[in-house]
Amino acid sequence: MSVPESHPRYHSLKMRELIIEGMEKGLVAKAGLIAHGRGEAFDYMMGEKSLPPAIRASRAAAAMLASAQKPVISVNGNTAVLAVRELVELSGLLGAPLEINLFYRTEERIARLTEFLEEHSASNILGAEPDNKIPGLDHDRALCCADGIYSADVILVPLEDGDRAKALADMGKMTIVIDLNPLSRSSKTATIAIVDELTRAIPMLAANVRELKGLSSQSPADLDKIVGEFDNQKNLSDIIQEMSGYLSSI
Ligand code: ATP
Ligand code: MG
């Protein structure tokens, strides 16, 4: 199946196609289809665009990533198939590894995702040989790499499951979550939640990182100030206000 570019919902249908193909290739878990659908519903409620609070969150997240000592990008099936190029670009910009971190972990899916990332020129991939655990999580969901998530100071966890986002916060990590649902536990427990669609959010984040890193006048104190001024609870309530405003204007 191929979606004609003239279709008014081209981008949305294209993403569905990528997720379905990703599942058929063993990259995306079945539950990934459901997670994507939940995201689509929230995107409708924000007019399928990046709202001002998400733009502010992206700026704060970029400052946090730009000043991180050891940033890591967590990757799952959905994020890989939707935004592989942008994730690889961000990984290069930050010198941050891409750690494959799956809720429904199977060795086969890890191998396929590793291959998929390599095909897209990712050079810094972790996750195939986890040698540590995130405390407080059971079974395979706890597995992580000592050199990656376990020792990172800032972790970008797009579409993370709420339980694991909380466990990372309990470890003292600073987490940046990308999630269209402002009510999710992931959004609430993140240090910074960017409530936006992944394929809009990752390029915006990369552009902000590029800009902040490129500003020679930007001191570590300036970056800390941008991060310090960000209040996640307030930002989530701003997003909800924006969404209700949008819905009542229809
Ligand atoms: P909680 O965080 O409350 O524990 P959960 O993490 O278990 O919930 P899931 O449905 O597993 O909930 O998580 C998927 C999340 O990812 C949903 O909240 C959905 O809004 C979000 N999501 C799905 N696709 C995208 C996307 N393309 N861009 C941004 N967010 C998305
Ligand atoms: Mg979640």
Tell me what pLDDT residue 214 has: 84
Q: Give the pairing of strands 143-144 and 132-133.
A: antiparallel
| Alpha carbon distance 34, 189 (integer Å) | 22
pLDDT tens sequence across 94-130:
999 999 999 889 999 999 999 999 999 999 999 999 9
- For a pocket test of ligand 1, which of 12, 79, 180 has the largest count of ligand atoms closer than 8 A to its C-beta? 180
Tell me what pLDDT residue 218 has: 80
Q: Whose CA is nearest to atom 5 of ligand 1?
A: 161
| Alpha carbon distance 187, 86 (integer Å) | 22
Atom number of ligand 1 nearest to Cα 39: 20
Tell me what pLDDT residue 215 has: 74
- Domain segments of the chain: what residues? 52-249
Q: What size, in residues, is the chain?
A: 250
For 163-178, the DSSP string reads HHHHHHHHTT-EEEEE
| Alpha carbon distance 62, 85 (integer Å) | 18
- pLDDT (tens, 9 = 90+) of the chain, 250 residues, equals 677 888 878 889 999 999 999 999 999 999 999 999 999 999 999 999 999 999 999 999 999 999 999 999 999 999 999 999 999 999 999 999 999 999 889 999 999 999 999 999 999 999 999 999 999 998 888 999 999 999 999 999 998 888 899 999 999 999 999 999 999 999 999 999 999 999 999 999 999 999 998 876 688 999 999 999 999 999 999 999 999 999 999 8
pLDDT tens sequence across 172-193:
999 999 999 999 999 999 999 9
- For a pocket test of ligand 1, which of 161, 164, 178, 187 has the largest count of ligand atoms closer than 8 A to its C-beta? 161
CATH superfamily, with its number, for domain 52-249: Phosphopantoate/pantothenate synthetase (3.40.50.12640)
Tell me what pLDDT residue 1 has: 60
Tell me what pLDDT residue 103 has: 87
